Structure 1
Amino acid sequence: MKVLLVGGGGREHALAWRIAGSPLLTRLWCAPGNPGIAQHAECVPIGAEDIPALVAFAREQAVDLVVAGPEAPLTIGLADACAAAGIACFGPSAAAARLEGSKAFTREVADAAGVPGAAWARFTDPSAARAYIRRTGAPIVVKADGLAAGKGVVVAATVDEAEAAIADIMESRVHGASGAEVVIEECLVGQEVSFFALCDGTDALPLAAAQDHKRVGDGDTGPNTGGMGAYSPPSVFTEALREEVMARIIRPTLAEMVRRGTPFRGVIFAGLMITDAGPRLIEFNVRFGDPECQALMLRLEGDLLAALHAACTGRLSEVSLGWSAEPSLVVVMAARGYPGTPAKGGAIRGLDAAGAVPGVTVFQAGTARGPEGGIVASGGRVLGIAARGPDLAAARDAAYCAVAAVDWADGFCRRDIGHHALPHPGTIKAA
């Protein structure tokens, strides 16, 4: 099977790494890819949102399956364009991708499907939004309605913080047009979990769960980011909870999407809050999470490519995937300045030494080749140092041992990934 993977981040590196091991694979391209992905795929210089060029390449190369990594290409119609060209695409139509492209749309679908979630309201007028916040009080959650690279959510502890978020999102437009409308939600209390399932329009195959670390600083402090690390499986997410989430959240949502004439095919990512009253939906995403995907791919047992293709062709019932009992953990190394303006161009050394630590796999995200051929930083989240081990503490220790082997002056990371399950952070050791 010839496969074109779309994207160039850590999630795509993890997917390429796993797809490359499939016995079904005959050739793998990635557009645009990165130097790490180039170890497993032929990288082609096509942007992830250049839909006409992606489809033209897929037709020229007789690609059997296009796999969409990030959400943006899906929300602007990659799957639709592939379908029009007769090419299978793993990912939802633009209409179904609104589950991520619009927070308000997600809430409407969830309400219609009876999915448990937070109380919410939507606003296009900043004054009305502020008045609602003053009436409701804090803590409260303010979300840009559209895509914002994982940074469009503010969990405000005070009314002043919430009003400042309205000013930033709706008036200063820090997230561009995505902030023309906001969704304001009740602040749910509990542990946040990311849960994933493959969908073929009507059927769903549960995958696994992970716990992300959104805040930039240790102890869950500082602004939200795209994710500073993750581990899988989270102990709070039991088998009974998985069944409840499938029955009360995933399957009713799929049925509602069918009722609307926009069946969902691809991977659905449910951001959940595990509260004292049970699981509640925070948001849906229409792609694998990043960095959660890196943690999941380390635990996956089975043919990922076969499962992705089955989701496109309505054959999920024929697929079986297993998961290692060994937990995994990924530490994101980000560039100084992230989640604001990251420092770019700094040389990164020691990746081979980091990858030589037992149990460790290094995934590249925001990297590029420098003028002299070495690896340099080219983004905000730059590396995913992932490890699997006999227990979570061993996986954590291996990951941080590998972090210590990376020589990158501009790099930083959180030192407490996994702290919900491991109260005492590991010591950074020399490789």
Structure 2
Amino acid sequence: MEKVKIAILGFGNVGTGVWKILQENKKEIMKRSNCQIEVAKILVNDINKKRDIDISKEILTDNIDDIINDESIKIVVELVGGRDEAKQYMIRAMKAKKHIVTANKLVIANWGEELFKIADEENVLFYYEASVAGGIPIIREINESLTANRIEQIIGIINGTTNYILSKMTLEGLSFEQALKEAQEKGYAEADPTSDVEGYDAVYKLAIMASLSFGTKVDHDRIYREGISKISAVDIEYAKKFGYTIKLLAIAKEENNKLELRVHPTLIPSSHPMANVNDAFNAILIKGNAVGELMLYGQGAGDMPTGSAVVGDIISILRNNVKPSELKALNDDADFKEVKKSEENESEFYIRLNVNDRAGVLGDTAKIFGGNNVSITSITQDVVHKEHVLLAFITHKSAEKNINNSLKKIKELENVNEIESIIRIESFN
């Protein structure tokens, strides 16, 4: 049986998970790959650091050249994260004729096209399953299982940190700040949680999925983004009252050769399966014109689930499957599809106003909505104290431009104190 040497760049949570899987599932991996995998080198910052895992210092190195210049190493697994350094490591490895496996969504979303082109030029394989949804095999589904379909839409919960926070707010009544602190204590959120809670992480992942699904290049800067930091307990309770649950969704749809790409908090019907995806779990709903709707569910982060996707890619390389870098969506000849501006999108909306308790306020706001072709399906009001009232509206599907025009005029009304919340609704129709 052939022995194949690999190197792991980075030995944090995911790197440790990859190591554990390779050791614990050695027999199964040998049988499925028909190869014996040997971890020849692991790139770390500190060789002498005390680690919870028993590993020989002989395979540890703090010098990337020890890996790049070792011709016996055939596969490089990039898990250092970050941007420029990780990109350069991968480029150097490919130019040294080494295959690449990575979990780096940031690098793929920013420079995927460049990296795949280098992979083609150097005739090496480039796999990145773990970059999007941890243990959920979404890239393989798009690349292989759904190739007979024209994918029409993807809707996903693809960030475990925000889903954990919103689950705690919904199920236990925690505030955003309390839920975030708990997520940090459990290791679900970083000390600086900006990338997760403000939606950047989900944007990078959506850019990758949309590129593959719709056969086009997607600039992640063109994806509309809102985070969850402004979601309050009041919004959670009003959502429940109207029969909805709030989730951070990544949404990609194609219609008439135009793309609708957005990441934002969303009200979804509490009866929908995605509303019951809680804690740090992920779920992705794909609609194909032939297969209909499919939903993939599982752990979207963590050492073992993400490590599972990484090891799966290693096995795929050893089996020499189709190169993702050959996909039209990620090459120079990809079709260009226009991304809609957010004001062109249509959706139902939840809107909450803080108004003075005066006669005629509701009528004035309803008149403005109607004058801008915005139809209201539900209204509820609650007194917050003697002088102020909360008005919460659910609209029919409306053009976002009409919603914005309505709110601009409503904000100018004398008895409207503040537009406190605007959240889109996805009914999965």
TM-score by length of structure 1 reads 0.32
Q: Which has the higher helix share?
A: 2
Which structure has the larger Rg over C-alpha atoms? 2
